[in-house]
Amino acid sequence: MSQGNDRPAYSRIADDLRAQIQSGDPPAGGMLRSEASLARSYGVARGTVRQALAELVRLGLVVSEMGKGSRVTGETVGGHDPAVTRYEIVAHSIRKQVASGSLGRNQQLPGEEALAEQFSVSKGTARQALQMLADEGLVTAVHGKGWFVGNAQTPLTRADEIAHLIREQIISGNIPAGTQLAGENQLAQQYSAARGTVRRAIATLEAEGYLESRRGQGRTVTKRTEPDGSEATTGPAKRLPT
């Protein structure tokens, strides 16, 4: 136990347990010994141990789980507060892998079901963890593909980047509903990309419902929802200016 016998016993026990946690024993996600076991080990009353555990909870090092005991939540990393919920523990683990480089930029993450199985949590908890990381800009969801390391401002491929640029113009209203999109050749020149790359970008936007093919009109921007919940009016098809 730490030195400093002038301090309350619970404080010295808390310091000793904190040192053990910081050394990885038990590791993040692991359970501390029961109050009764700790009381015997330190030769104090269970009430004293309970005070020590309350101090660790206050510091964010452990979380009390009803009927189970005290679980280690993990250390502070990169300025983030220690994890205190199951989804934060999952996010904390993924965040550490990204920071260490074991999960590289643009690398695809395991799906929600795989993460749920890996961390013994529900799919909803795994989804909360991924959304938390997305809010931090560490991961992004790519439609029809899954979750990847990186943020929405740095698309995964050139086709994704072109789709992102066109999508932003549609969402902002710079390309109104009913506008006829320029042809593949014209877009390839505009974005300095191959026709195949442009075709993949357009296919993504069609799958997301931003574009549709109309006989004799090419690909046209579909109706989109306005902030007030109403649909934008689709007027006569217009050629996208270059």
For residue range 29-42, what is the model confidence (pLDDT) as tens digits?
788 999 999 999 99
* pLDDT score for 139: 87
Token couple for 35: 């109050």
Strands (E), 26-125: 62-65, 69-72
pLDDT above 60: residue 76: no
pLDDT of 78 over the 50 cut: no
Contact (CB, 8 A) for 157 and 139 = no
pTM given for the model: 0.37
Structure tokens at 105: 């930029």
pLDDT in tens, 122-170: 888 888 888 888 877 888 887 777 888 876 555 467 887 888 889 888 8
Nearest to 2 by CA among 15, 180, 56: 15
**Residues 32/62, Cβ–Cβ less than 8 Å:** yes
**For residue 26, is the peptide bond before it cis, meaning its omega torsion is within 30 degrees of 0?**
yes
- If pLDDT is split at 50, 70 and 90, which confidence band does 48 have? very high
Integer-rounded Cα radius of gyration of the chain: 27
* In the block, residue with structure tokens 């093919």: 213
Which residues on adjacent β-strands are paired with residue 221? 211
| Residue 22 CA, distance from chain mean position | 25
Q: What rounded mean pLDDT belongs to the chain?
A: 77
| pLDDT bucket at 223, cuts 50 / 70 / 90 | low
Eight-class DSSP state of 211: E
